[in-house]
Amino acid sequence: MIYTYLLFTLLILASLSCFAAKEKSATLITLFSSFVSIILSLIIWLSSTISTNFLYIDPISKIMLIVTAVIYTTTSLFSVSYFKHIKKPLLKQNLYWAFLNLFVLSMFFSVIAANLGLLWVGIEATTITSALLVAIDNNYPSIEASWRYIIIVSVGLIVSLVGIVFIYAQAHTLDIAYMIQNHQDKNRLILIGSAMAIIGFGTKAGIFPMHTWLPDVHGRSIAPISAIFSSVLLPSALFGIIRISQIAPFGQIKHFMFALGLLSVVFASIFMVNQKYYKRLFAYSSIENMGVILIGLSLGKTGLLGSIVLLISHAFAKSSAFYLTGNILSVYKTRKISDVNMLVKNMPYTAYGLILTSLAVTGAPPFATFVGEFLIIAAVYKIYGFAYFSILLLSLLVAFLSVNYKISRMSFLDGKAMQNNSCDMISAAVPLINTALAFAVLFAIPAINKILSGVLL
């Protein structure tokens, strides 16, 4: 427990000092606090489940803490090299670091909150702290994207707050640990409350009918921010849905989650076929992956294991993909797929990294995403039968083909050679580390399985 408080103090101090510090020292402070947060989250992983008035750390929270800390570190590292590509940044560099620290702090806060209201507060706080980070490019499209992000997400979260109030009206408490132990009677009030909360958190997680802000934001924010959004922000919104489904483990809620997840997968894969911009392509891929994770969460047992594995490995793979798109953008100065070609000749490391990560995010075997999706698909076949199984499989296939076709086109199609193709060491190395991690999650699956055995869902 002491380590949790330590983690929080660290991040609060880091963000406060970044407001005051010079650019260089702010960078160093952030890098330091991110490395320490990895260590602290590993220590928390080894300690037992904590449940107090303010903290509730169960295995899923621990996993989220570690993933967030790792992505935080790699994002900080990558931002150091990427920041020089921004022409006229909206925020000064030290403010950028301060907001990044606050953003990560609010995500940490929402995954360990012991109270549904505080969980909501944490998730809403991620919106506030990240809105300016989205607009950091300081041009019209990025500001427009940031505006859409704020409005759509905060309205969605208001809906989920109404849902939480309904849950409170039924249970007369918002304590998560208590509500997981003692299930409420199933009645309309708690069903509607849970459904509204799921819709709200689903807005933040980019689930299908409410996903519209997501491609815009991912397409227009800078690469490190896209990466941290896609790999940790969306899962921490899904974490809210996990809590809701733990509190209200009713059949209708599971079916609702399944339907939303399936819709997300189907529509995201349809949108991916016709995508002209590579960052948006990966954004839709995020929606598709979140859909699959949501399906897995709705199934429980092996589905849960699959979705947690997919969540972790997708976080690593997708962050790597977005870092690489940042490298491409800084050299080619275009977001269009059709304008990028000969990547293998021009930027060999980036090209091979991109091919590997695009295989990883679409769930191709050696990567742990494959295991996650496989477990979920198997569970779907077992529970929902052949029809839904084939729909899901077909959509995943479409997504796989469209992403990999477009990426290989960008990599291998003949075109003119670029003069300025120098890419510094950090921005080439960081994506490779994350891709390797997406593979290494395979070896952690038994440990994840063991730690998840006590989780009720």
Partner 1 sequence: MKEAFIIVGFLEITLAIFMQWQIYLKKIVTTFSISSYAISIFLAVDGIVLNNTNLLVLSALTAVIRGFFIPHFIRKKLNKECYLEREIKAIIPVAASIVVSLVFVVASYIVYHSTLYSFINIPGGSIPIALLFQGIFLIISRNNAFVQLVGYMVAENSLFLFGGYLFPELPFIIEGGILLDLIGVVMISGIIMKLREENVSSIVDEFEEFKG
Q: Which residues bind partner 1 (CB under 8 A)?
A: 90, 115, 117-118, 120-121, 124-125, 127-128, 131-132, 135, 138-141, 143-147, 150-151, 154-155, 158-159, 161-162, 165-166, 168-170, 174, 187-189, 192, 215-216, 219-220, 271, 274-275, 277, 280, 335
Question: CB-wise, 270 or 378, nearer to partner 1?
Answer: 270
CB 184 within 8 A of CB 249: no
**Rg (the chain; Cα; Å):** 21
Question: Who contacts 204 (Cβ-Cβ below 8 Å, separation ≥6)?
Answer: 123, 126, 127, 153, 156, 157, 233, 234, 237, 240
| CB closer to partner 1 out of 291 and 296 | 291
- Measured from the CB atom, is 88 or 416 closer to partner 1? 88
Residue with Cβ nearer partner 1 (190 or 293): 190
d(CA 202, CA 218): 17
Report the residue number, 278 or 323, with the smaller CB distance to partner 1.
Answer: 278
Shortest distance (Å) from residue 169 CB to partner 1? 6
Distance between CA atoms of 144 and 156, rounded to whole angstroms? 18
Residues paired with residue 277 on neighbouring β-strands, in sequence order: 336
Give CA–CA dist 439/365, Å, rounded.
9
> Which residues make beta-bridge pairs with 200?
none
Amino acid residing at 144: E
How near is the Cβ of 130 to partner 1 at its closest, in Å? 9
Measured from the CB atom, the residue of 186 and 345 that comes closer to partner 1 is 186
* Cβ contact 218:148 at 8 Å: no
CB nearer partner 1, residue 143 or residue 391: 143
Whole-number Å distance between alpha carbons of 76 and 27:
8
SS3 276: coil
Tell me 385's DSSP state: -
Residue 251 CB, nearest distance to partner 1 (Å)?
Answer: 17
- In the complex, minimum distance from the CB of residue 195 to partner 1, in angstroms, rounded to a whole number: 10
Which is nearest to 160 in space by CA: 104, 213, 122?
122
Cβ distance to partner 1 smaller for residue 215 or 240: 215
Gap between the Cα atoms of 243 and 179, Å rounded: 10
Whichever of 276 and 382 has its CB closer to partner 1, that residue is: 276
Residues, the chain: 457
Of the two residues 280 and 314, which places its CB atom closer to partner 1 in the complex? 280
Minimum CB separation from partner 1 for residue 120, in Å? 7
Residue 369 CB, nearest approach to partner 1 (Å): 25
- Compute the least distance from the CB of residue 121 to partner 1, in Å: 4
Q: Which of 360, 76, 110, 108 is nearest to 225 (CA)?
A: 76
**Coil vs helix vs strand at 56:** strand
Buried b (16+ CB within 10 A) or exposed e, 91-101: bebbbbbbbbb
Q: Report the Cα 372 to chain-centroid distance in Å.
A: 15
- Least distance CB 274 / partner 1 (angstroms): 6
In the complex with partner 1, which residue's Cβ is closer, 271 or 384? 271
> Residue 5 Cβ, how far from partner 1 at the closest point, in Å?
17
Least separation, in Å, of the C-beta of 55 and partner 1? Answer: 14
DSSP per-residue string spanning 342-408: -HHHH-HHHHHHHHHHHHHHTT-TTSHHHHHHHHHHHHHHHHH-HHHHHHHHHHHHHHHHHHHHHHH
Tell me how far, at minimum, the Cβ of 382 lies from partner 1, in Å.
Answer: 33
- Among candidates 203, 103, 202, 194, which has minimal Cα distance to 152? 203
Burial environment of residue 2 by CB neighbours within 10 A (0 to 12, 13 to 18, 19 or more): exposed
Residue 423 three-state SS = coil
Phi/psi at 186 (5° precision) = -80, 115
